A and B are shown apart, each in its own frame.
Chain A
Amino acid sequence: MRRLLALLLMLAPAAQADVAVVVHAKNAVAALSPKEVQDIFLGRKRTFPDGRFALPVDQSSPLRAEFYQILTARPLEQINAYWARLLFSGQASPPRQLPDDAAVLKMVRENEGAIAYVDPKHVDHSVRLLLLLKP
Chain B
Amino acid sequence: MEKIISWLANGGRAFALGLGLALAAPPAFAIDWSFKAFGTMAAMGTDTGQIGFRRDYTQDSGATSAWRGDIDSRLGLQLDADLSREFHAAVQWVARNHAGNFFEQNLEWAFVRWRPRDDLDLRLGRLGFDAFLLSDYRNVGYAYPWMRPPAEFYAPIFPYHFDGADIAKKFNVGEGWLTLKGYAGHSTVDVLEQSGANVNELEGLLFGGNLVYESGNWRARLGYAQIQPLKNLPQRTTGILSNPLVQAVWPGAQSIVDELSIEGKPLHFSSLGFAYDDGTWPVQAEAAYIDSNFASSLPSIATGYLSVGRRFGGVTVYSLFGVAESLNRRVQVAEVPAQAQVLTDLRNSIEQSLNNRGVDQMSASLGGRWDVYDNIALKAQWSHFWLGSNGTLFWLEPKPSLPDQVNLWSFGVDFVY
Contact = CB atoms under 8 A, between A and B. Distances in A.
Contacts of B375: 77, 80
Contact of B142 (A46, A76, A80): A80
B118 A45 contact: yes
A78 B377 CA distance: 11
Nearest to A93: B80
B357 interface: no
Contact of A75 (B78, B139, B314): B314
B38 A44 contact: no
Given A78-B279, A88-B92, A46 B118 contact: yes
A81 B142 CA distance: 6
Contact of A90 (B118, B123, B214, B277): B123
A27 interface: no
Contact of A80 (B76, B85, B416): B416
B-side binding surface: helix, strand, loop or mixed?
strand
Interface in B126-168: 127-128, 130, 136-137, 139-140, 142-144
Given A74-B279, A77-B377, A89 B80 contact: no
Q: Number of contact residues on B: which range applies?
A: 35 or more
A85 interface: yes
B279 A90 contact: no
Interface residues of A, number: 23
B177 interface: yes
A85 B143 contact: yes
B374 A88 contact: no
Interface in B351-396: 371, 374-375, 377
A124 B258 CA distance: 77
A80 B374 contact: yes
A76 B140 CA distance: 17
Interface string A89-114: 11101000000000000000000000
A87 interface: yes
B143 A81 contact: yes
A76 B38 contact: no
A44 B177 contact: yes
B417 to A, nearest CB: 10
Contacts of B130: 89
A84 interface: yes
Given A47-B118, A78-B279, A90 B140 contact: no
B50 to A, nearest CB: 36
A89 to B, nearest CB: 4
B142 A89 contact: no
Contact of A77 (B76, B82, B140, B371): B371
Interface string A55-83: 00000000001000000011111101110
B279 A88 contact: no
Contacts of A44: 177, 214
13 contacts: A44-B214, A73-B279, A74-B279, A75-B371, A80-B375, A84-B38, A85-B143, A88-B36, A89-B130, A89-B137, A90-B109, A90-B111, A90-B128
Interface of A: 44-47, 53, 65, 73-78, 80-82, 84-85, 87-91, 93
Interface of B: 34, 36, 38, 76, 78, 80, 82, 85, 88, 90, 92, 109, 111, 113, 118, 121, 123, 127-128, 130, 136-137, 139-140, 142-144, 177, 214, 277, 279, 314, 371, 374-375, 377, 416
Given A46-B118, A77-B314, A84-B143, 12 more contacts: A47-B118, A77-B371, A80-B375, A81-B144, A84-B416, A85-B140, A87-B78, A89-B137, A89-B140, A90-B90, A90-B123, A93-B34
- Kindly list the 6 A-B residue pairs having the minimum CB-CB distance in the complex, ordered from nearest: A77-B371, A76-B374, A85-B143, A84-B143, A89-B137, A89-B136
